[in-house]
């Protein structure tokens, strides 16, 4: 409360409780992973789960980005290579995990083969910068940010799978990936 005994024209003293607190910074929850020997992130709302990569079965005449199919708990999943989707080199390290994607269609089971998993992180929206321009191939980054001295590309799945989604009848949109940190 303000000090009512103050002289007219004097500044009122405010109780510490009356001082407005800054609004909490908006955060994005993302999963970090390595693919193509580089670090990427996906909004956690687009990830169902992460599994070890095991027993991929090649599919004859499949598009180049499809590495094959695999069975996860009795369900067939189509496995994509991020390098093949982005038309870049696949990297020297082997792909060891699959990030199972959630594109809002329960029957659409697909995943990305990745080299390593870096965990789930909360990234301040203010830390995400516009991506650098890319010559050749699809532009698939929503932005870039830094984690532990590494530049991480925040993927936009609608752009990564731009040539496949219309064929599948899927339109990706923002799915509430922002959140406010809990106190």
**How much is the average pLDDT of 55-78?**
91
Tens digit of each residue's pLDDT (9 = 90 or more) over 9-35: 666 665 665 556 667 889 999 999 999
> According to the model, what pLDDT value does residue 33 have?
97
4, pLDDT greater than 70: no
Q: Output 34 or 5, whichever has higher pLDDT.
A: 34
Fold of the 25-169 domain: OB fold (Dihydrolipoamide Acetyltransferase, E2P) (2.40.50)
Indicate the pLDDT class of residue 47, thresholds 50, 70 and 90. Answer: very high
Q: Give the sign of the dihedral formed by CA 28, CA 159, CA 34, CA 60.
A: positive
Tens digit of each residue's pLDDT (9 = 90 or more) over 82-128: 988 888 888 999 999 999 999 888 888 899 999 999 999 999 999 99
> According to the model, what pLDDT value does residue 17 have?
59
DSSP state of 91: -
Give the whole-angstrom CA distance, residue 62 versus residue 78.
Answer: 10
Give the whole-angstrom CA distance, residue 102 versus residue 118.
Answer: 19
Q: Output 42 or 8, whichever has higher pLDDT.
A: 42
Tens digit of each residue's pLDDT (9 = 90 or more) over 68-84: 999 998 999 999 999 88
Q: Output 103 or 2, whichever has higher pLDDT.
A: 103
What integer best gives the mean pLDDT of the chain? 83
Which residues sit opposite 110 in a β-bridge? 78
Give the whole-angstrom CA distance, residue 20 versus residue 163.
Answer: 49
> According to the model, what pLDDT value does residue 180 have?
30
> According to the model, what pLDDT value does residue 143 have?
94
163, pLDDT greater than 60: yes
Give the whole-angstrom CA distance, residue 149 versus residue 79.
Answer: 30
> According to the model, what pLDDT value does residue 6 have?
55
Both tokens of 104, joined, read 């809002």
Tokens 């870039």 belong to which residue?
A: 144
């Amino acid at each position: 409360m303000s000090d009512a005994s103050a002289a007219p024209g004097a500044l009122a003293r405010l109780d510490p409780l009356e001082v407005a607190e800054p609004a909490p910074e908006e955060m994005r929850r993302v999963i970090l992973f390595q693919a193509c020997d580089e670090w990427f992130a996906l909004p956690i709302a687009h990830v169902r789960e992460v599994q070890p990569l095991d027993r991929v079965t090649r599919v004859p005449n499949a598009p180049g980005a499809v590495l094959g199919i695999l069975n996860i708990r009795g369900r067939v999943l189509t496995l994509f290579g991020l390098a093949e989707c982005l038309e870049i080199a696949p990297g020297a390290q082997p792909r060891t995990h699959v990030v199972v994607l959630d594109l809002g269609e329960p029957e659409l089971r697909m995943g990305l083969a990745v080299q390593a998993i870096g965990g789930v992180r909360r990234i301040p929206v203010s830390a995400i910068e516009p991506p650098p321009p890319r010559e050749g191939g699809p532009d698939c980054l929503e932005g870039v940010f830094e984690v532990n001295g590494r530049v991480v590309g925040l993927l936009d799945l609608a752009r990564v799978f731009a040539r496949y989604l219309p064929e599948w009848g899927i339109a990706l949109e923002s799915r509430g990936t922002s959140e406010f940190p809990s106190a």
